[in-house]
Structure 1
């Protein structure tokens, strides 16, 4: 293995570390500013709304071989947003603005990373995406541990220190980006047959491929939406139920560790169970475990539930990347991966906004019940699509 994949893996680690420090930290800062828990969905939506609009354009750029400027722009925006949150986040408007910048930088970085991974050996994509998402999960584990370090026994941690840690992680990612954009991938260059425009890229997929692509995007959207809700609303649930910030940080870290573990063995699980079957089963288990969080539980029981949820939620993301990489026609892989991210960002915008209404009516616990219902619906659709294809 050449040196560049390790650069990419650490790049993914520091990217997700920065994002998963900010997501709960922004929620805590909003609570400090007096925002009601029902409106925390605004924070989650601000991270996703602009990427929702530009993801397809960024995907077209990577299809044309412009990964280097995409990666560089993403890293610069991540640093700018992190420094902005550290220095100027004393109002809700500023908090929302810097979350928008952070979300756009995160999108550019992720599309650049995934486009590189997707151009690997098709027979090894499950393992490749598993390793890539494993590195991202390592950042998701480390992020909540900063809440433990800066929270102690308080209900609300030191948000200024958390934003400073995010800035440090973003700067490290920017340094790695300089090496990453100069390196030459150990796989073929971008496809020269990339369609001239977005409409041609979409029309290249036949009916069966399009069903697979849209199904994978739907699963990915709902799974990531559930992960995002846990990151944003678990701090609010802790405040509502009197759980110290340090315990909340440990719970978030447990979820991320379990996700990491599930991704180490994706290749083996796919060969034993089948890719489509594994996607459907893991989504169903996600629905069950996320729904249990709506019930008042002692902290150790919440930890056990979040471990199971982490395993289940960790499977869907890398496998849907593989499905899209294999089902997309030549020259359109970056576009379809970007559309998957666009669907993810739509979920991150619409789902928190919708469940925020649930929180206003039922309390924070109702958010997890609503998310479980959405996951159950998607799991049912996945099973139906699988039975239809097998039948």
Structure 2
């Protein structure tokens, strides 16, 4: 049920976010406003993630999931009813970001609280695999529901999103609830500072931020690199699919990999391998050689997120795991906003290749820094 909930959340999100942009294009919205629409989704995680994590710890994950699903439904209705104006799109985008936040915080806290010690690597690997599956299915649904024209039938997509979001409310109500910790098991200082002092948590947070920012940079700058090197859009699309499939594969088998290699060694090796692949990607090479480089890149980037989730879940005590997951989400969103722009400024004049090279250096630093994480239990 939890994995179905994860898939559904990402499907709705990755249907509505691109469709919001299509509706803005239909309305001849200026390019500057497209950035505002995109930012409207990110406002909620930055402002409300920590309170949402606290609420999940206090009231239980199922209530937060139901609230998130209701907000996803409200967002779908708002897109349908008020999406013909810029303020309506912005308001609906904020609702969408808030609903997505509630669902994701509830899911991650539920995984953290219901998984036994030693099983978090497998659990978070399967969870992030399900999320990746939903993200891949979203664009497919846009193509299926929107027709074959350049700009899809946005009204029809918004209508079907209302139906999908209503199903999410039912799924949320059927989720199990993790056992509440006794009062004596709760941390006496349940705040961000006390969480960051937990062994390994701060280092896992930094690694998570860098890996996720590198993933976003890859999605944005690989097409730009293809343009610079004369690769077709179909070739770049194939390379992105290869990277995505490699990430999903590493997540599905994460538990086995972790047991065979060791969690810290796996995180270090995968991050360093991703860094090496990122450094090689801008170099001119034939497609048959570039494809395996993207496999290595996808594998390394796919491992980083669930492993750092697992580390943070085991570092935080019962009763604080929702806040630990929300703290990670705040860090990730901040990195997504700041690091790509910083890489672009540092690589000014070097083009997409320069951005990818600098990102590869950052990934390498994150891999080396991961040596400071606690040894495997």
Check whether TM > 0.5. yes
Map residues 85-100 of structure 1 onto 2, 5 A cutoff: 85-100=79-94
1:113 correspondence with 2:101 = no
Distance in 1 of aligned mates of 2:110 and 2:96: 22
Structure with more contact order per residue of length (Cα contacts < 8 Å, sep ≥ 6):
1
Matched, 1:381 2:363: no
- The answer as to whether partners of 1:251 and 1:303 remain within 8 angstroms in 2 is yes
Which residue matches 1:324?
312
- Give yes or no for contact 1:44–1:352 (8 Å, CA) kept in 2: no
> Deviation at 1:177?
1.0
Identify which of 62, 79, 83 aligns with 2:77: 83
CA distance in 2, matches of 1:278, 1:221: 17
Report how far residue 315 of structure 1 moved: 0.9
Q: Bigger CA drift: 273-282 or 333-342?
A: 273-282
Q: Is the 8 A contact 2:267 2:370 kept in 1?
A: no
Report the counterpart of residue 6 of structure 2 in structure 1: 12
Report the CA distance shift for 1:84/1:247 in structure 2 as closer, same or farther (over 3 A): farther
The residue correspondences of 1:185-264 to structure 2 (distance < 5 A) are: 185=178, 188-192=179-183, 193-195=185-187, 198-199=190-191, 202-203=193-194, 206=197, 209-210=198-199, 212-229=200-217, 254-264=242-252
Corresponding residue SS for 1:123: coil
Closer/same/farther in 2, CA of residues 145 and 226 from structure 1, 3 Å limit: farther
The alignment covers a number of residue pairs equal to: 371
- CA RMSD of superposed structures (Å): 4.0
TM-score using structure 1 length = 0.77
Unaligned runs of 5+ in 1: 1-6
Judged with a 3 Å threshold, the aligned counterparts in structure 2 of structure 1 residues 384 and 184 are, in CA distance, closer, same or farther, namely: closer
Name the CA shift for 1:174/1:341 in 2 (closer, same or farther; >3 Å): same
CA drift of 1:298 comes to: 9.8
- What TM-score, normalized by structure 2, do the two folds share? 0.79
Q: Is the counterpart of residue 136 in structure 1 residue 124 in structure 2? A: no
What is the alpha-carbon distance in structure 1 between the residues aligned to residue 282 and residue 146 of structure 2? Answer: 24
* 1:386 CA displacement: 0.6
- The 8 Å contact of residues 122 and 326 in structure 1, kept in 2 or not, is answered as yes
Unmatched tracts of structure 2, length 5 or more: none
1:69 pairs with one of 45, 63, 68: 63
Question: 1:273 and 1:44, CA in 2 relative to 1: closer, same or farther beyond 3 A?
Answer: farther
Partner of 1:172: 167
Structure 1 residues 15-71: Cα deviation after superposition (integer angstroms, max 9, x where no partner): 0111222344444555554554x8865444332222112211222222224323211
Aligned partner of 1:123 in structure 2 is 118
